[in-house]
Amino acid sequence: MSTILVTGGAGYIGSHTVLELLNAGHRVVVVDNLDNSSAESLRRVEALTGKTVEFHLLDLLDRGGLDLIFKRHRIDAVIHFAGLKAVGESTQQPLRYYHNNITGTLHLLEAMKAAGCKTLVFSSSATVYGDPERVPLTEGCALRTTNPYGATKLWIEGICRDLAKAESGWHILLLRYFNPVGAHESGRIGEDPQGIPNNLMPFIMQVAVGKREFLNIWGNDWATPDGTGVRDYIHVVDLAKGHLAALAKAPELPGATAINLGTGNGISVLDMWRAASAAVGRELPYRFAPRRPGDIAACYADASLAKNLLGWSAHYNVAQMCTDHWRWQQANPNGYSG
Ligand code: NAD
Ligand code: UDP
């Protein structure tokens, strides 16, 4: 049994990963400042697993507080989810994003180094590919970003690579997530966006539950098979399991290694709308609207490296992603605050 520190463990992907870690028999310590989440997610994870999570309300900007966590627990490995993630907000508040995401990560790496803990799984993102040079995206594709949020991911990847080059003993996996959607099959934990969702799936689900009138489809003139944007949607439980596979293989992967976590399937907005309508049981209203600034036509993974290095691949299809997301949305129309 290992002790895993999960930063940002109360959040969407974090809470699903904590659940899988507990079910796999790991001990879990979570630090989160609850800036974009609720401790209720972890209470539900405890109820679902019958196990306890050691939760610390802590901001990664509190360097001394982090040292105390490492003194208090013998941490074997860290999964680092904590960060701000809204692309639009990052263009309006770049300093807050750079400070929170980059300084927070520097503090974490310093605390890990001081404690002699050198295994890290980091939440990177497909956003590091910017407007993709080609699809499907392999890890060797050009990296470029168009907004401060993406820049923080790119910088953190670079910091990790430099660290692993300078010092031996580090095992860092930079997991580049594609588009996480869905929820745990229990419908008890899921994504709880604040305000009007920017992402497609939570927006569609708020249309389904009657909180929004219709879905705006941002552009039907993209160079894609049906003219709407194409992405690689991945079930959050598949993604969570990818972290366990990464932890298991980390000892065999010295240095810093970037790995895509996607399904490898390109799904259009209209495909997703169709699958969501089927899950909900009626045609959800939509209208075509002009392209969203900064959007790209298509972004999906070549998922073969994850299979080869981690022995992991995604299992859930789009119908299951929509069914599970809908179960969570229906049972929790106001998220955890309901
Ligand atoms: P989330 O907002 O639900 O979870 C992030 C958690 O980090 C939240 O609980 C938040 O309170 C916490 N946090 C933020 N700053 C912190 C700080 N300074 N100290 C302590 N806690 C802090 O987001 P998520 O969707 O679960 O994403 C998790 C990670 O995955 C993020 O790093 C995100 O950038 C990355 N990612 C997410 C997506 C996505 O679409 N959801 C895609 C690619 C990458
Ligand atoms: N999208 C849309 N309407 C929405 C939200 C998203 O048409 O209300 C489209 C968007 O243009 C893109 C796809 O859905 O083609 C996925 O968008 P999301 O913001 O979820 O992910 P990202 O673009 O960051 O990959």
Over residues 200-249, the pLDDT tens digits come to: 999 999 999 999 999 999 999 999 999 999 999 999 999 999 999 999 99
- Residue 137 is given by DSSP the state B
- Whole-number Å distance, alpha carbon 220 to ligand 1 midpoint, is 30
CA distances, 125 to each of 8, 239, 270, 282, 337 (Å): 15, 12, 23, 33, 28
Distance 85 CA to ligand 1 centre (A): 6
Supply the pLDDT for residue 338.
Answer: 72
- Residue 244: burial class (beta carbons within 10 Å; 0-12, 13-18, 19+): buried
Indicate if ligand 2 lies below 6 Å from the C-beta of 220.
Answer: no
CA of 200 to the centre of ligand 2 (A): 5
Q: Which atom of ligand 2 is nearest to the CA of 203?
A: 8
- Which of the ligands is closest to the CA of residue 261? 1
Residue nearest ligand 1's atom 33 by CA: 85
Question: Ligand 1, closest atom to CA 35?
Answer: 11
Instruction: Identify the residue whose C-alpha is closest to ligand 2 atom 4.
Output: 200
Length of the chain: 338
The residues of the chain scoring below 70 in pLDDT are none
The reported pLDDT for the residue numbered 1 is 79
The catalytic site residues sit at: 149
Q: In this predicted model, what pLDDT tens digit does every residue of 134-173 receive, in sequence order?
A: 999 999 999 998 899 999 999 999 999 999 999 999 999 9
For residue 300, which ligand has an atom nearest its CA? 2
Question: pTM for the whole thing?
Answer: 0.99
Output the pLDDT for position 37: 98
| CB 203 less than 6 A from any atom of ligand 2 | yes
Taking CB atoms and a 6 Å cutoff, what residues make up the pocket around ligand 1? 8, 10-14, 31-37, 59-61, 81-85, 100, 104, 123, 125, 177, 180
Alpha carbon 172 to its chain's center? 17
Question: In this structure, which residue's CA is closest to atom 7 in ligand 2?
Answer: 217
Q: Which ligand is nearest to the CA of 14?
A: 1
Q: How far is the CA of 83 from the centre of ligand 1 (A)?
A: 4
Question: CB pairs under 8 A, 24+ apart, for 136-144?
Answer: 136/264, 136/266, 136/300, 136/301, 136/302, 136/303, 137/260, 137/299, 137/300, 137/301, 137/302, 138/260, 138/302, 138/305, 139/176, 139/258, 139/259, 139/260, 139/305
Quick one: pLDDT at residue 262? Answer: 98
**CA dist 107 to 114, 127, 280, 302, Å?**
11, 23, 44, 32
CA angle 308, 310, 315 (to 5 degrees): 90
Residues in a beta bridge with 261: 177
Q: Which of 5, 7, 13 to mutate to test the pocket of ligand 1 (most atoms within 8 A of CB)?
A: 13
Estimate the crossing angle of helix 318-331 against helix 200-208, to 10 degrees.
50
Return the pLDDT at 87.
Answer: 94
pLDDT for the residue 146: 87
Any idea where the domains of the chain sit in the sequence?
Answer: 3-181+233-262
Fill in the amino acid letter for 234.
I
* Third-level CATH fold of 3-181+233-262: Rossmann fold (3.40.50)
Least Cα distance to 190 among 56, 48, 329, 27 occurs for 329
